[in-house]
Copies of this chain bind each other. A is one copy, B any other.
Amino acid sequence: MTTDVAFKQRLLTPGPTAVPPQVLEEMAKPIIHHRTKAFQAIFAELSELLQRLFVTSGPVLSIAGSGTTAYEAAQVSLIRPGSKALTIAGGKFGERWQDIYDAYAPSLGIEQVRINTPWGHAADVDQIEQALKEHPEISVVTVVHSETSTATCSDVRRIAELVQKTDALLIVDGITSVGAMPVEQDAWGIDVLVTGSQKAMMLPPGLGFVGLGERALRRLEEVQPGPYYNLDLRKWVKSHAKNDVPFTPPVSLIRAQKVACAMILSDGLEAVHKRTRGLAEASRAAFKALGLDLVSHSPSDSVSGAYYPEGVSDSELRAAVRDGHGVHIAGGQDGRGDKWKGRIFRISHMGYVDAEDTRVALGAIETELAALSDSFNPEPGVAVRTFDATLGG
């Protein structure tokens, strides 16, 4: 069975997320050439909308690829060869940014100062302050704002304050935060803010975005390019100033992102953040009412996760929720040390999802958990009732 023939499907996965029909419709428009005034006008409009979403006056680059492509580009283009990177991880994506610097370490002569917090915990700000003091050779700090794998939020605002006092640049993984929760690049002092298209940006996957502050732009000029070509942000910055990109861009995605950004901004960033937070808080309350343990000690607003009750099979539960209710949720992921595959499930609150969709998902989860486990016997309907009460409260 492919989705083509399946009936109504609801994507509650933390990326890709559901895409509004207006945005899908834009994807089907005839292709225009990228070296035209028509495309440049679209690109300029998108760039301005992205600046409003990032809350920055600096350039926000649109790079073909995944969020990882965009983040790798920032990591490698901005670090000073021979320096140190402070890499903060507490989940699969934080660990990925460490893996990326591992791959470049011999070539760039760089070392990592790693802070690995237990999965489900926010980055430890005191530890970061200490590390910045101990290692003045740190030229770049990487941190994840909303760690999707653990549904956990870190205090990027405070971390940015600390990093701003040093010569190091802060590169923030905002892949599941931009457009979902408050994050203000300029006001918070975030040197580099990265996101991807398929999360709160309400687009299919295929584009990454990199917002660059003044200190980051200066660093690009100071540092000699290293072993990379496509990912060299200098090329992208240079083209961006002319409403262009260095390599043929995914035209359809760029036009569609313009439509999606306009939808977000017409709702208003504050309203979107409030809706996302409301869905997250009410979902967490529903999980607790079901007697489930949350996976995060510092929950993100964009995704919520809970441990399965004893004895429930992840693949069976997700299949039942999908086949019986058309609801797609995510399981857990494995990291270097922590193994969350099979132990947790996650639902997204990002983008084109509302209270009705979330209610359907919670009802489906409750029903199928109860069907799969003899020992799991919640009061029938408690998940949705708690969700409604919390949302209304």
Complex interface: chain B residues within 8 A of A266 (CB): none
Is A69 a contact of B247 with CB atoms below 8 Å? yes
Is A31 a contact of B204 with CB atoms below 8 Å? yes
Does any Cβ of B come within 8 Å of A251's Cβ? yes
Does any Cβ of B come within 8 Å of A305's Cβ? no
Instruction: Report Cα–Cα, A36/B4, bound state, in Å.
Output: 13
Instruction: Report Cα–Cα, A106/B18, bound state, in Å.
Output: 44
In the assembled complex, how far is the CB of residue A153 from the closest CB belonging to chain B, in whole angstroms?
21
In the assembled complex, how far is the CB of residue A119 from the closest CB belonging to chain B, in whole angstroms?
20
Is A18 a contact of B3 with CB atoms below 8 Å? no
Does any Cβ of B come within 8 Å of A181's Cβ? no
Is A103 a contact of B227 with CB atoms below 8 Å? yes
In the assembled complex, how far is the CB of residue A109 from the closest CB belonging to chain B, in whole angstroms?
10
Copies in the complex: 2
**Candidates B205, B248, B250; contact of A15 at CB < 8 Å:** B248
Secondary structure at chain A's binding surface: helix, strand, loop or mixed? loop
Complex interface: chain B residues within 8 A of A108 (CB): 107, 227
Instruction: Report Cα–Cα, A86/B16, bound state, in Å.
Output: 41
Contacts A107-B227, A227-B108, A328-B36 given; does A28 touch B31 at CB 8 Å: no
Among the interface residues A17, A64, A104, which one has the most CB atoms of the partner chain B within 10 A?
Answer: A64
Does any Cβ of B come within 8 Å of A335's Cβ? no
Interface range, A side: 35 or more
Does any Cβ of B come within 8 Å of A332's Cβ? no
Is B69 a contact of A33 with CB atoms below 8 Å? no
The B-contacting residues of A in range 97-113, CB under 8 angstroms, are 99-100, 103-104, 106-108
Q: Mark A40-72, 1 if CB is under 8 A from B, else 0.
A: 011000000000000000000000111111001
Is B68 a contact of A230 with CB atoms below 8 Å? yes
Is B229 a contact of A227 with CB atoms below 8 Å? no
Complex interface: chain B residues within 8 A of A250 (CB): 204-206, 250, 253
Contacts A64-B66, A227-B228, A247-B66 given; does A3 touch B30 at CB 8 Å: yes
Is A72 a contact of B2 with CB atoms below 8 Å? no
Is A28 a contact of B28 with CB atoms below 8 Å? yes
Complex interface: chain B residues within 8 A of A19 (CB): 30-31
- Give 14 new A-B contacts, CB below 8 A, not counting A2-B42, A27-B28, A66-B247: A1-B37, A1-B38, A4-B29, A19-B30, A24-B27, A24-B28, A25-B28, A64-B69, A72-B230, A103-B228, A204-B253, A205-B249, A226-B227, A252-B252
